[in-house]
Amino acid sequence: MSHKITAQLGDKQVIIESGKLAKQADGAVTVQLGETIIVVAAVAATKAKPGQDFFPLTVDYREKAAAAGRFPGGYFKREGRPTEKEILTCRLTDRPIRPLFPKGWYNEVQVQTVLLSADGENDPDILSIIGASAALTVSDIPWAGPLGAVRVARVNGQFIANPTHAEKVGSDLDLVYVGNDKDVVMYEGAAKEITEPDFAAALQFAQAACQPLIAAQKELAAKVGKKKRAITLNTVPDEILLEAKKLAGNRFVPALLTPGKLARESACKAIQDEVGAKLVEKFGAEKVTEFVIKDAFYYIQKESIRSLILDEKKRLDGRGFDQIRPLLSEVGILPRAHGSALFARGETQAVSLVTLGTSEDAQDFDSYTGGETSKKFILHYNFPNFSVGETGRISGPGRREIGHGALAERSIAQMLPLETYPYAVRVVSEIMESNGSTSMASVCGGTLALMDAGVPMIRPVAGISIGICAEYSGENISRYQLLTDIIGWEDGYCDMDCKIAGTEKGITGFQLDLKLKGVPHDIMLQTIEAARVARLAILDHMRQTIAEPRKELSKYAPRIVQIKINPEKIGALIGPGGKNIKRIVEESGCEINIDDDGTVNIYSVSAEGMEVARNAVEGMTAEAEIGKLYKGRVVTIKEFGAFVEFLPGKDGLCHISELANFRVKQTEDVVKMGDEIWVKCLGVDEKGRVKLSRRAAMAERDGEMSGKDDKAPADDKG
């Protein structure tokens, strides 16, 4: 029997139903907003795989073309590998639910979302988060939910919950927020330089908007929810953990405080190997497996690092809690890239390359759910194994790379004049070294490279990550320490990675990941302020490297000239079968793109080619101006005069009476085929026929030329 619950969000309704579809899953729901409907099913394995030493959670989100009444594009009429939108929605769904599973439970869990109906107005990504929470809540899978999720826009200063695509037009905020009963759990998105107080207000609005969704899920669980299954947690036996601590003694803290990431890891690994061997010797290899040793030292390292921070007020690398690591930046480091930069923050290092392209280089993609279908600015992030001194599988970008690139991309995009800038822009961030927040290094390096390329950024953008080390007393945080510019182990062994990017005026991009069940809003306000202070310091450093975008483009970047023509002339410019435009492209070596509004974009790396193309386009689309002089070529001789091509592809009649300032008996007495002569436009009739005069042009140019003409009618042709 199915049950349906409705959550009211302003004038919108979110409908959650369970018991109708996917009844063999451990938990399944459909979620509907408008006519957009998704189904989410959650299943957990009954036992962990032998030797499993981590929690294998898989979250998958897929959009079906049939949901929008369409066929998939391409040769094969079946959906293929996940799109970037699908991958980002997977991450968006995964990140808030992952921390709420029991620690030490290693049964495989799969949460799958399928888009069943898309109305083109309501984005299903928020519904995927709500559905994952609801499916887990009504299932027997152990999970500490439910959660509420909402998208927030701001139009004319007013916050809107779960806006449609039409409602988002003119919004200066795109916030995806996930919360529990009282705290923030996750957020991400972008904004057009929203101030910190306004951002805090948006978080409060979102928290309130989540409550009806949480209440609806609790009501649904009360009606159809299953009893949570009994589970067995994988923990290190107490006697082994105590012996490991005893054998490590007081050597572990000095090892943790070893300067340098690789040296620190090596010092700790040496103690682990030594102690591990002694544990095997004492308890036996069957009881002390490689997993037990690894898990025991995870607990020891975590406990030691957190004690250093909370009790001894020390960080692993000796910095103050609000101190940024040493900064280094350079621009123009690569000669062939259109713009390039190196940005380093401690042991985190990114090289950014900028390429400027034509409008044909913009990224186009299918969209079954509405919203944009192309973008002119792209940021790609690459994280090779050598950046952390490791080997591993070498393949294309994974979910992490796509997610980090998307965060950096939307943070920078807010400060690019994409509506008016004629170029498509690609930034590639190559991570050379990693020890904390390479996505924010990509924001800084990408900004520097764009300025080096001469891209007219409104203002430079920088980003930083803030962490937290928190300790609980019951359900509440009893003490905590914020950590500015976290390093890798502070991310791994502490509780938060809050990335905030922006300009000197406000926030442009943000993403919060937690290992906690939630963070109170007062602590989040402190986090936002710590990020602002650090961001301004980084921006000051970046200004010393390059203060503003370069005035000149790289000599290897394509130049662009924009010409506005009458839209009615587009067909004539293109010509039958593209004949005219192809000829111009071949003769000039340029790339030419024509917009429907009559904007002609000419791209070229050659000044000479640009001039050829520009003259050709202007000539073919120009209108004859009465009274203007033109230098033309005689293309046809008639008894009554000569036809002169005075603009490319356009000719007019110079009547025999207008050839000279004396009586001309035969046209050939004055001009012959192929002669170049000056003519003046006398008029254009209602059929577009142009009347030209050589006599008037000669008189206007100079008296001397006219004098020669009197003496020698077939002499100088002007």
**pLDDT at residue 109 in the model:** 97
Is the confidence at residue 119, as pLDDT, over 90?
yes
pLDDT higher than threshold 50 for residue 713 = no
Nearest to 198 by CA among 168, 177, 173: 173
Residue 80 tokens, joined: 């293929």
CB neighbours of residue 211 within 10 Å: 16
Of 518-532, 633-647, 693-707, which has the strongest mean pLDDT? Answer: 518-532
Residue 711 pLDDT grade (very low, low, confident, very high; cuts 50, 70, 90): very low
pLDDT-based confidence at residue 206 (cuts at 50, 70, 90): very high
pLDDT value for 446? 98
* Strands lying side by side in the sheet with 348-357: 327-331, 339-345, 348-357, 424-433, 377-382
CATH number corresponding to 327-545 = 3.30.230.70
Which segments of 291-359 are extended strands (E)? Answer: 327-331, 339-345, 348-357
Query: How big is the CA angle at 273 (ends 269 and 278), to the nearest 5 degrees?
Result: 145
pLDDT at 185: 97
Tokens of 531: 């990020």
Task: State how far the Cα of 617 lies from the Cα of 586, in Å rounded to an integer.
Answer: 13
Backbone angles phi, psi at 247, to 5 degrees: -70, -35
For residue 580, pLDDT beyond 90? no
Instruction: Return the pLDDT at 362.
Output: 84
The residue behind tokens 């593209």 is 578
Domain 629-711 has CATH 3.40.50.300: no
- Given pLDDT bands bounded at 50, 70 and 90, which one contains residue 24? very high
Q: Residue 488 — pLDDT band, cuts 50, 70, 90?
A: very high
What is the SS3 assignment for 313?
coil
Which whole number is the average pLDDT over 323-338? 97
**pLDDT higher than 80, residue 718:** no
Model confidence over 164-192: pLDDT tens digits? 999 999 899 999 999 999 999 999 999 99
Indicate the class that CATH gives domain 238-310. mainly alpha
Eight-class DSSP state of 428: E
Instruction: Please determine, looking at this structure, whether the domain spanning 559-621 carries the CATH number 3.90.1720.10.
Output: no
Give the tokens for residue 122: 């309501």
Q: Which segments within 569-712 are labelled E, that is strand?
A: 591-594, 599-604, 629-638, 641-647, 650-655, 676-684, 690-693
For the residues 253-264, what does the mean pLDDT come to? 93
pLDDT band at 616 (very low <50, low <70, confident <90, very high): confident
Q: Where are the beta strands (DSSP E) in 234-333?
A: 327-331
- Please say if the pLDDT value at position 708 is more than 60: no
Q: What is the pLDDT, as a whole number, of residue 172?
A: 95
Torsion of CA 116, 117, 121, 123, to 10 degrees: -10
Query: Looking at residues 281-292, what average pLDDT do you find?
Result: 89
Model confidence band, residue 717 (pLDDT cutoffs 50, 70, 90): low
Contact between 305 and 295 under an 8 Å Cβ cutoff? The reply is no
SS (H, E, C) 19-88: CCCCCCCCEEEEEEECCEEEEEEEEECCCCCCCCCCCCEEEEEEECHHHHCCCCCCCCCCCCCCCHHHHH
Which of the residue ranges 265-279, 299-313, 412-426, 573-587 would you say has the lowest mean pLDDT?
573-587
The reported pLDDT for the residue numbered 617 is: 87
- Specify the higher pLDDT residue, 80 or 333: 333
Residue 230 sits at the vertex; the CA angle it makes with 226 and 233, to the nearest 5 degrees, is: 135
pLDDT at 710 over 80: no
pLDDT class of 609 with cuts at 50, 70, 90: confident
Kindly indicate the confidence band of residue 716, based on its pLDDT and cuts at 50, 70 and 90: very low
Examine the pLDDT at 459 and tell me if it is beyond 70.
yes
The topology under which CATH files domain 3-224 is: Ribosomal Protein S5; domain 2 (3.30.230)
pLDDT digits (tens, 9 = 90+) for 545-569: 999 999 999 989 888 888 888 888 8
pLDDT value for 255:
93
481 class by beta-carbon count within 10 Å (0-12 exposed, 13-18 middle, 19+ buried) = middle
Q: Is 466 exposed, middle or buried (0-12, 13-18, 19+ CB in 10 A)?
A: buried
Pairing of strands 377-382, 27-33: unpaired
**CA 489, CA 499: separation in Å to the nearest integer?**
16
Burial 679-692 (b: 16+ CB within 10 A, else e): bbbbeeeeeeebbb
pLDDT in tens, 349-406: 999 999 999 888 888 877 778 777 789 999 999 999 999 888 988 988 899 999 999 9
Q: What is the crossing angle of helices 399-413 and 438-452, to 10°?
A: 50
The yes-or-no verdict on residue 25 having pLDDT over 60 is: yes
- Annotate 497-511 with b (16+ C-beta within 10 A) or e (fewer): bbbbbbbeebbbbbb
The angle subtended at Cα 188 by Cα 348 and Cα 177, nearest 5°, is 150
Position 714 scores a pLDDT of 39
> Rounded to 5 degrees, what are φ and ψ at 686?
-65, -15
Alpha-carbon distance 403 to 411, whole Å?
A: 12
Q: Where in the chain is the domain with CATH 3.30.1370.10?
A: 559-621
**Domain(s) of CATH 2.40.50.140: residues in the chain:** 629-711
Q: How far apart are CA 402 and CA 413, in angstroms?
A: 16
Residue the block writes with tokens 């520009």: 614
| Lowest-pLDDT range of 24-28, 330-334, 574-578, 632-636 | 574-578
The pLDDT value recorded for residue 689 is 87
Model confidence pLDDT, tens digit, residues 415-440: 999 988 989 999 999 999 999 999 99
pLDDT at 213 over 90: yes
Strands (E), 162-203: 173-179, 184-194
The residue whose two tokens read 């033109």 is 630
Average pLDDT (504-528) is 96
| pLDDT given for residue 709 in this prediction | 46
pLDDT the model gives residue 702: 67
Q: Where in the chain is the domain with CATH 3.30.230.70?
A: 3-224, 327-545
pLDDT at site 72: 85
CA distance 541 to 107: 48
pLDDT score, position 703: 55
- Quote the mean pLDDT of the chain: 92
| Per-residue confidence band for 327, with pLDDT thresholds at 50, 70 and 90 | very high
CA atoms within 13 A on the CB side of 667: 18
* Tokens describing residue 291: 């997993």
Q: Distance between CA atoms of 546 and 442, rounded to whole angstroms?
A: 16
534 SS3 class: helix
C-beta separation of 439 from 408 below 8 A: yes
